[in-house]
Every structure is written in C-alpha cells, then in structure tokens.
Structure 1
Amino acid sequence: MKNPWKKFACALALALAFVMPQMAAPAEAADQPQRPILSVDGRGEATAEPDMATVAVGITTHADDAAKAQNDNAWVAGEIQKAISSLGIAEKDIQTRNFTFRPTYREDKGHTNEIDGYTVDNTVIVTVRDVKLTGKVIDAALSHGANEISSLDFSASDTRGIRKEALKNAIADARDKADILAKGLGKRIVGIQNVSENTGYIETRHFAGNMMMAMAKDAATPVAPGSLSLSASVHIDFILSD
C-alpha cells in the first residue's frame, strides 16, 4: 500500500510552488519606484451664435375705477398678444408674468390715506425662436400699448455642442503644456493617472435699463445679438517616463 503522507507532501509542494511566485509579484511591484507625475491645468473657450431671444414687455394701466384699470390692462395685453402672434410667435411662447394690482393714494397734505385710483402692472414674456424677428416683436409690442421693454436676453438652444468644443480646447491646451514641460525635463508622456474637469454655463446676453430704452425708440432697427461664449477647464495628471 502506498504511503498517504508521501502523496500529501507532493501535493503541498506543488501548491506552494504555484502560490509563492504570486505572493512575490506584488512585493516586487511595490519595490519598484513610482513613475513621476506631471500635473497640468488646461483652459478652453468656445463661442456660439444666439438663436433665441427673450423679451420682457411691460404693460401698465391706471384708472379711477378698479375694474376699468383691470379691463384696460387686459385689453392692451390681448392686442399685444395678437400683434406678436401675427409675426409667427407661438401662443406657448407668450406668457404673463409678474401681474400686480394695487391702489394708489393721494399725495397732497391731509389726504395721504385717500385712494385716488388703481394701477395694474403686467409683464408679458415673449420667447423669440428666430432672432431676426426680435426687433419686430419689440416694435409690435410698443405700437400696441406696451409702456416698457424691461429686458432683452439672447441665448443658444444647443448648449451641448459648444460645451463639447470648449472641453476639447481645454484638453488640447493641457496636452500642449504637458508636452512642452515633459520635453524640457527630458521625459516622455506615457500615460494618464487622473483627469478632472470644470465646465461653466453659457451666459445669456442681457440688455436692460437705459440700453433697452434707447433700443425701444427705434425697434424697427435690426437688433444685433452678438455672440455667446463658454469656458471650460481641465486638470490632468500625466505619467512621465523614468
């Protein structure tokens, strides 16, 4: 009969022969020096042509009677909406916002608590999806009873494309800097250890105050939307050759 202890010893020797190299490999890797890291920040920008505008139209009416002040405001708002709709602006893109109704009081001495009328303020927000119509929308609103164009904002509907371009430019900037630094150090870039990014938001071009008042006096003049910009930054840790 064969010795069972001899068979066990042979099996144990084979197992150790397989395990020991596996255990030694991490230890050997730990002994190897880490490759140098080059940390670089990159920045990129991208621009886009605005394809949308948002116009805030103000309607203010005043009357001695509360109902008349309200009815007058509603009538003017309706006329403005019809005029703007005739330009091809969809009904969903014309919305009422910031509606207020308040009494007004006499200012002469001894009568300061007496109501002398009622004022209704109504702001209509118009989204213009064809920027070439912006001037015509302003003109239509003013010619049909609007008292004020309180703000005008230009924006872009496709933000994904401009964000992608800004990031690509930021990455290219970081790589260009890294190549210059690595070459100056006598090294080569052999890999990337870590990447992080920070992308901003496309800010609308905003017009308000005196600029809007000047624009409203000659709304038939084409309104120049200009361009919008977005910036992005990246941080990349490049692995250098030994």
Structure 2
Amino acid sequence: MKNLFALGLTLSLLLTSAASASDWAPQPHLKVAGEASITLDADRVDIHASFTSDHKNSRLALQELESRFGNLLRSLRRQLPENARLEAGQVRVHPRHKRSNDEWQIIGYTATRDLIVLDLPVEKTGEWVEKISQGQPSQLGPLNYHSTQATSQRNPALEEALADARNKAQIMAATLGQQLGKALQIEEISSPGIQARSAVMAADSSNESTPDMQPGRVETSARVQVIFELVD
C-alpha cells in the first residue's frame, strides 16, 4: 500500500514539473528565425610588422637587429597617438641550415622581432605605414580593421535580428487573421560574429610618399529564433 502511494506521489510530481517547465506550450504560438548582417565603418586599425637580420654570427645578427629596431621603437613611442598602444615582441634567434654531403650545416643566424601598433585611428593608417616602413621591416601586415561601436555594443546586428524576427512573425500572424502576443522564448542560434577585414602589404621602404590607404570595414552578423504567443 505504501509503495502504491509513493508511486502515485512521484508520478504526480513529475507531471507537475513537466507542466511548469513548458506551461506556455499549450498556447497557440509561432516560431520564427530572424537574422541580420550589417557593415560598419572601421575607426581603428592594428598594424603588424616583422623585422629580421641575418648574419653568420648569432650575436652580430642580434646586435644589428636591435640597433635598427630599437631606434624605430623609440621614435614611434614618442609619436604614438592618444589611446593607441605599441607592443614589441621578444627577440628570437634561430640558425639557418644548408645541406652539404648528406649533412646539415649551420651557415648563419636570423634574428627576428615583431611589432604591433594597436587601436590606431584609422585616418592615420597611411602615415604610420610610412613610419614603420622606415625601419625596413621584412613583412608589413596584416592590417586588422575594427570598430569601437561593434566592441562597445558587443554585436550591433543582434537588435536588428530580433526586429527581423518580429516583422516576420507579424506578417505571418496577420495572414492568419491573428495578432502577435509577447515573446515566449528567445534563442540565439549563432553566436554573435564580428568579422574584421584585414590586409597584408609588401614591405617597401623606398616609397617616399605617404601611402593612400582605403578605409577598412567591419562586418557583423547575428541569428536568433523567437517563439511568439498568438492571440485572437
């Protein structure tokens, strides 16, 4: 008798929990997906550059690189715009090998160091590409464009995706002769995506004029799924 009572109580609790977990399910509802993709003008850019020096002696390769890189770094720090940042990587030295008579021999050393200018105002891109080029980088780029608007709002397209879902639902409800009620459930189908456009430039320190850089753009997108209540 006690077992039957316990079984009945357990079944009752399970039914109550299931009903409360989806208490809106019996209501007439409408499920729609909303999506949006917008393009923003970039107002900041990150410039990456790499510098190398080759020599038969590892110490001389390092000294040559540090002499050239150090002078450039000090000059750039004095001219750095407000809110922009400058990061210099660690020096890396590795041997260069050549195969001779089935054996690998060390023929010299390469010293490498990276430089990144972060959060530079986009209108100063050409000017700073020219400044960095004066240090004779082995590679100049990529240039990563981004938007402070996208960063501060996390994803500006999310609001438009929700509006798109509501507009679709209103059209469908009106076609059925019904009205749209409140949102019963909202789900983010895809994580907010902010795609910064980038470019890679060939290092050319012989160009004396300031490069004419085209403004970068930032693409942001979002996709959501919303369940709306339908009312008569």
The alpha carbon displacement at 1:181 in A equals 0.7
Cα–Cα, structure 1 residues 111 and 174, in superposed 2: closer, same or farther, change >3 Å?
Answer: closer
Structure having the larger proportion of residues in strand: 2
Given that residues 47 and 162 in structure 1 are in contact (C-alpha distance below 8 angstroms), is that contact kept between their aligned partners in structure 2?
no
SS in 2 for 1:71: helix
1:87 paired residue number? 79
Q: Which moved more, 1:57-66 or 1:87-96?
A: 87-96
Q: CA deviation at 1:59?
A: 0.8
Q: Is the helix fraction higher in 1 or 2?
A: 1
Match of 2:179 among 182, 185, 188: 188
Tell me the residue number matched to 2:112.
Answer: 121
Per-residue deviation, 1:36: 1.3
Q: Secondary structure at the match of 2:225?
A: strand
Q: CA deviation at 1:39?
A: 0.6
Match of 1:176 among 157, 164, 167: 167
CA contact 1:105–1:112 (8 Å) conserved in 2 = no
Aligned mates of 2:128, 2:33 — CA distance in 1: 45
Task: Kindly provide the CA deviation profile for residues 97-139 of structure 1, in whole angstroms up to 9, marking residues without a partner as x.
Answer: 36421122345x4495433221111111121421122222221
Residue matched to 1:20: none
Residues 63-72 or 89-98, more deviating: 89-98
When residues 67 and 240 of structure 1 are mapped into structure 2, their CA distance, relative to the original with a 3 A threshold, is: same
Q: Give the letter aligned to residue 67 of structure 2.
A: W
User: Structure 2 CA distance, aligned partners of 1:236 and 1:180?
Assistant: 14
Matched, 1:134 2:125: yes
After superposition, the CA RMSD in angstroms is: 2.8
TM-score normalised by the chain length of structure 2: 0.76
CA contact (8 A) 1:149 1:216 kept: no
Change (3 A) 1:111 1:143: farther
Aligned to 1:76: 68
Which of 202, 210, 214 is the aligned partner of 1:213? 202
Structure 1 residues without counterparts, runs of 5 or longer: 1-32
Query: Which secondary structure state, in structure 1, belongs to the residue aligned with residue 35 of structure 2?
Result: strand
Q: Secondary structure at the match of 2:89?
A: strand
**Alpha-carbon separation, structure 2, partners of 1:128 and 1:80:** 19
Name the SS of the counterpart of 1:129 in structure 2.
strand
Distance 2:213 2:185 in 1: 46
SS at match of 1:235: strand
Give the Cα–Cα distance (whole angstroms) in 2 for the partners of residues 66 and 215 of structure 1. Answer: 26
Match of residue 96 from structure 2: 104
How far apart, CA to CA, are the structure 2 residues paired with 1:91 and 1:78? Answer: 22
Which residue pairs with 1:223 in the alignment? Answer: 213
Q: In structure 2, do the counterparts of structure 1 residues 82 and 128 end up closer, same or farther at CA, with 3 Å as the change threshold? A: farther
Q: Percent identity of the aligned residues?
A: 23
Deviates more, 1:148-157 or 1:196-205: 196-205
Report the AA paired with residue 226 of structure 1.
G
Kept after mapping to 2: 8 A contact 1:101/1:118 = yes
Cα distance 1:81–1:91, how it changes in 2: closer, same or farther (>3 A)? Answer: farther
Q: Which residue is equivalent to 2:11? A: none
